[in-house]
Structure 1
Amino acid sequence: MAEPSSSLSASKDDLIQLIKRLGTYLSGNISNLFSISVQKLDPRSVGAIAGLAVAIIFTYRLMRSPAAPPRRQPKLQAPRTRNSALSTLSNQTLMPSGVNSSSDDLRAQNVVDELFQPVKPTLGQTVRQKLSEGRKVTCRVLGVILEESSPEELKKQATVKSSVLDVLLEISKFCDLYLMETVIDDESEKNVLLALENAGIFTSGGLVKDKVLFCSTENGRTSFVRQLEPDWHIDTNPEIVSQLARFIKYQLHVSPVRPERTAANVFSSPSLEHFFGCV
């Protein structure tokens, strides 16, 4: 890094020395030059004038010319100690060249694999991607969020599946989520709301109790969905999924057995969490 400054300093020193020599030369000859008349010029005087002119021109060009770019000095490698040389020699002697080359290639490949390893998306990113940026979602409770699969079971208890909680909370953060279910009596409604509350769904996400809807028939759930006009509806009943295919942009049919695809906008999955890659 010090090469440019040292080169520039050397050029300045040469220029100063040249100017000093020119000054000495001029001091000794300037009086003689001006004392000579034009009519009495002899070869010696002409030579002095020519030398002065050449010196002036050379000095002017030297001052105008750009400094030459500094030459880079080759980097000096630190001398290898005797111990390191012996160690390298012993390693080369003990390990065949093919094995050494293979291990180097393997280490290089491992470094490349680590650098270009794809970054796994977060659950929130996966939810938004899977839902195609949909902003409103309606979802059945039985068989999707609860362990129970029939309205009769809700009369006794309601149990939220632990595996679905993270997905449900991410959906409620990103989307306007409505839960709905067909129930037989008021006691079933209380059991469902209590189970959701105990699971922390109403406190951790954007879901509120007013967005949990209950009806007494399956047709009532279909009517709820059509009135809300969601971007996605999630259900386990194939008849409801088939009826809503013409009206809802996307649907997810949750079924343990993969059904035949009834429409291009209907997807199927064994569970809600499986659809979002949580299983």
Structure 2
Amino acid sequence: MADSSSSSREELIHLIKRLGTYLALKMSNLFSISLNKLDSRSVGAIAGLAVAIVFTYRLMRSPAEPQRRRPKRQAPTTSSSAVSTQSNTALMPSGVCYSSEDLRAQNVVDEFFQPVKPTLGQIVRQKLSEGRKITCRLLGVILEESSPEQLQKQATVRSSVLEVLLEITKFCDLYLMERVLDDESEKNVLLALENAGIFTSGGLVKDKVLFCSTENGRTSFVRQLEPDWHIDTNPEIVTQLARFIKFQLHISPVRLERSAANVFSSPSLEHFFGCG
């Protein structure tokens, strides 16, 4: 029993030493990334590596028992393990030989570094370049309707845009705006937004839904608010605001050439964030 315990401890220490060597290689690759591109997950990965290295160092410093000579045992090779070994070997640099302990250490680290799919919130923040104030027209972007005349009868919030819209309101100061023909149209829009639950998310209030009687009125709203992003379907307004707004998103079913370097185009708001 003592020999078995000692053998297991020696194997563990040997594997951890191999793991420490492989971690050092991973650390060198990780720190080659520009610090400006580090996000919260990258920082977490670095912290995890630091803990692993400290743990490895402490075990390596612990006194190991005298090594006993053990007869080499030939492990049977199954077809699946052979395929796995061959695939790992194919990824190794030519002229370098790795033992089974090296491959085990590599598999442990590779599993730790499995890519994590970003959340919708992370995608929204990245796409908006951390912009904090956004103005957005309603017709054709948030609402199904595409003309002020249609708003006189009803207003319908597009269900496909809700998730993205609510995510934007979590960290952005969002203002919605539209040209309307009468007070009844305003009531229809506000009721549709309220029924969709947009006001209950905490990021948008009715005072930030603005109405005007002309297209130029919407342009004036945007100029006064000075947002980081403006989202619109009218190409003329997008062109007029290109000199004054940092970024714009032109919603259009037809892909158009970029009118300016700071103007992006997408068939829908949700499609811009990869949800369409």
TM-score by length of 1: 0.64
Aligned match of 1:188 in 179, 185, 188? 185
Aligned to 2:125: 128
The AA in structure 1 aligned to 2:83 is: S
Q: Distance in 1 between matches of 2:255 and 2:197?
A: 31
Q: Distance in 2 between matches of 1:106 and 1:116?
A: 18
Q: Distance in 2 between matches of 1:214 and 1:246?
A: 24
Aligned to 2:255: 258
Q: Distance in 2 between matches of 1:202 and 1:172?
A: 10
How many residues align? The count is 200
Q: How does 1:153-168 map to 2 (within 5 A)?
A: 153-168=150-165
Distance 1:219 1:106, change over 3 A: same
Aligned to 2:116: 119
Q: How does 1:174-253 map to 2 (within 5 A)?
A: 174-253=171-250
Q: How does 1:48-67 map to 2 (within 5 A)?
A: none
Aligned match of 1:267 in 252, 264, 267? 264
Q: Distance in 1 between matches of 2:191 and 2:136?
A: 18
SS in 1 for 2:178: strand
Q: Distance in 2 between matches of 1:72 and 1:110?
A: 29
SS in 2 for 1:247: coil
TM-score by length of 2: 0.65
The AA in structure 1 aligned to 2:66 is: R
Aligned to 1:102: 83
SS in 1 for 2:210: strand
The AA in structure 1 aligned to 2:154 is: Q
User: 2:67 aligned with 1:73, yes or no?
Assistant: yes
- The structure with the largest alpha-carbon Rg is 1
**Cα displacement (A) at 1:244:** 0.4
SS in 1 for 2:146: coil
Q: Distance in 1 between matches of 2:65 and 2:84?
A: 39
Do 1:170 and 1:205's aligned partners in 2 also have CA atoms closer than 8 Å?
no
**Cα displacement (A) at 1:112:** 7.5
Q: Distance in 1 between matches of 2:65 and 2:163?
A: 64
Do 1:169 and 1:205's aligned partners in 2 also have CA atoms closer than 8 Å?
no
Aligned match of 2:167 in 166, 170, 176? 170
Aligned match of 1:142 in 139, 142, 151? 139
Query: Mind listing any 5+ residue stretches in structure 2 that lack a counterpart?
Result: 3-62, 89-102
Q: Distance in 1 between matches of 2:64 and 2:174?
A: 70
**Cα displacement (A) at 1:75:** 6.9
**Cα displacement (A) at 1:144:** 0.4
Q: Distance in 1 between matches of 2:231 and 2:164?
A: 13
Q: Distance in 2 between matches of 1:227 and 1:149?
A: 25
**Cα displacement (A) at 1:73:** 2.9
Distance 1:154 1:101, change over 3 A: same
The AA in structure 1 aligned to 2:67 is: Q
SS in 2 for 1:149: coil
Q: Distance in 1 between matches of 2:65 and 2:225?
A: 77
**Cα displacement (A) at 1:71:** 6.7
**Cα displacement (A) at 1:265:** 0.6
Q: Distance in 2 between matches of 1:233 and 1:71?
A: 69
The AA in structure 2 aligned to 1:206 is: G
Percent of aligned positions with the same letter in both sequences? Answer: 80
Distance 1:115 1:193, change over 3 A: same
Q: Distance in 1 between matches of 2:152 and 2:69?
A: 84
